[in-house]
Amino acid sequence: KKWFAVIGDPIAQSKSPEMHNTWFDLDGFDASYIPIRVKPEDLEKAINSLNLLGVSGFNVTIPHKTTIIPFLDEIDETAKLMGAVNTVVRLKNGHLKGYNTDGVGFVRSLEEKVGNELRNQPVLMIGAGGAARGIAFALKNQGYENITVTNRTLSKARDLIDALGSGKVITNEEASQMLNKYKIIIQTTSAGMNYGEFSLPFSIDRMSKDAIASDIVYNPLVTPFLQHAKEIGATVVTGVGMFVHQGAIAYEHWLGQYPDTKLMVEKLTEQLN
Ligand code: ATR
């Protein structure tokens, strides 16, 4: 029997165990997936223990995505570029290899919803943190040519675009003014997390009704950013799809096949609604 885990702190809220265990059942794998709370100071011991006990692979979530890197034997190129790991595979020789499936997960989720005909359309990324970086690289690799980044701290947006090697930087004010020019708008800031006291970095009144609005946050399912998009009749891509696909890509690394993402997006959307 194979077993898998997710490590983080806190971890009780994670939907990953339910998602992966459902897929194991559907695909007929004799496997199980458990949540393990690991405090920051215990990270190295926890990883060595997982390896010793023969884990086949595990996911990594907040606050360990970056700090885990020195404790892994190998890091995939994308994860290196992002400076963050969300998926670990235990190789046959016992080495632990880190991947990052978040960015590609986002792009798959986007294209599952709106197809792949929009790759030449202007994309606006709000935010320039770790999540934004992963998504920007994945979009570029997938052929999205026209990426603009806006961020409260402009120098971080500049760093992201420099690393990417193409694209534009604009201020929040400019983004607000020219919002109707963007077909795909991706909200990656943590400003969207606090539902009660939510304030977007800038006014989004000028969003086009033809836009596709996407948020990486999935709890709440409909963030205030997405709520506004919904109200004006724009297309909404919630963060659930990204969550499901980052898990699906991890699953594929571990078990060699892609699980049923559509069913899982439906199931989790229903739960979170
Ligand atoms: P993650 O790895 O999840 O992307 P992060 O690296 O801390 O997290 O990045 C958080 C992003 O949210 C950044 O773009 C941050 O803007 P700054 O670079 O200016 O800090 C953005 N952010 C967080 N709180 C914000 C707020 N209240 N208003 C505007 N932007 C905010």
Q: For the chain, what are the domain ranges?
A: 2-100+241-272, 103-238
How many Å apart are CA 109 and CA 237, to the nearest integer?
8
How many Å apart are CA 175 and CA 121, to the nearest integer?
16
- Partnered with residue 96 across adjacent β-strands are 90
How many Å apart are CA 103 and CA 82, to the nearest integer?
9
Nearest to 126 by CA among 74, 80, 192, 71: 192
CATH of region 2-100+241-272, choose from 3.40.50.10860, 3.40.50.300, 3.40.50.720, 3.40.30.10? 3.40.50.10860
User: What digits encode the pLDDT tens for the residues 104-156?
Assistant: 999 999 999 999 999 999 999 999 988 899 999 999 999 998 999 999 999 99
How far apart are the CA of 216 and the centre of ligand 1, in A? 12
Query: What sign has the CA pseudo-torsion 138, 44, 70, 51?
Result: negative
pTM of the model: 0.94
How many Å apart are CA 80 and CA 186, to the nearest integer?
23
Mean pLDDT of 160-187: 96
Print the SS3 string covering 90-137.
ECCCCCEEEECCHHHHHHHHHHHHHCCCCCCCCEEEECCCHHHHHHHH
Q: How much is the pLDDT for 220? A: 86
What DSSP state is assigned to residue 37?
E
Are 82 and 136 contacting, i.e. CB atoms less than 8 angstroms apart?
A: no
CB of 82 closer than 6 angstroms to any ligand 1 atom: no
Q: How confident is the model at residue 199 (pLDDT cuts 50, 70, 90)?
A: low
Nearest to 110 by CA among 180, 213, 179: 213
Q: How many CA atoms lie within 13 A of 33 on its CB side?
A: 24
Which of 1, 2, 65, 140 is catalytic? The answer is: 65
CB of 80 closer than 6 angstroms to any ligand 1 atom: no
pLDDT reading at 194 higher than 60: no
Q: Is 65 a catalytic residue?
A: yes
Indicate which residue's Cα is closest to atom 16 of ligand 1: 152
Same fold, 2-100+241-272 and 103-238: yes
Query: What sign has the CA pseudo-torsion 80, 83, 87, 92?
Result: positive
Indicate which residue's Cα is closest to atom 9 of ligand 1: 129
How many Å apart are CA 39 and CA 20, to the nearest integer?
23
pLDDT reading at 64 higher than 90: yes
How many Å apart are CA 173 and CA 175, to the nearest integer?
5
Per the structure block, which two tokens stand in for 56? 């086949």
Q: How much is the pLDDT for 12? A: 95
How far apart are the CA of 195 and the centre of ligand 1, in A? 15
How far apart are the CA of 204 and the centre of ligand 1, in A? 17
Mean pLDDT of 212-233: 92
- For tokens 């998926």, the residue is 87
CB of 194 closer than 6 angstroms to any ligand 1 atom: no
Feature table: binding site = 14-16, 61, 77, 86, 102, 127-131, 151-156, 216, 218, 239, 246
Are 242 and 109 contacting, i.e. CB atoms less than 8 angstroms apart?
A: yes
Mean pLDDT of 65-90: 95
ipTM: 0.96
Q: What is 103-238's CATH superfamily?
A: NAD(P)-binding Rossmann-like Domain (3.40.50.720)
pLDDT reading at 195 higher than 50: no
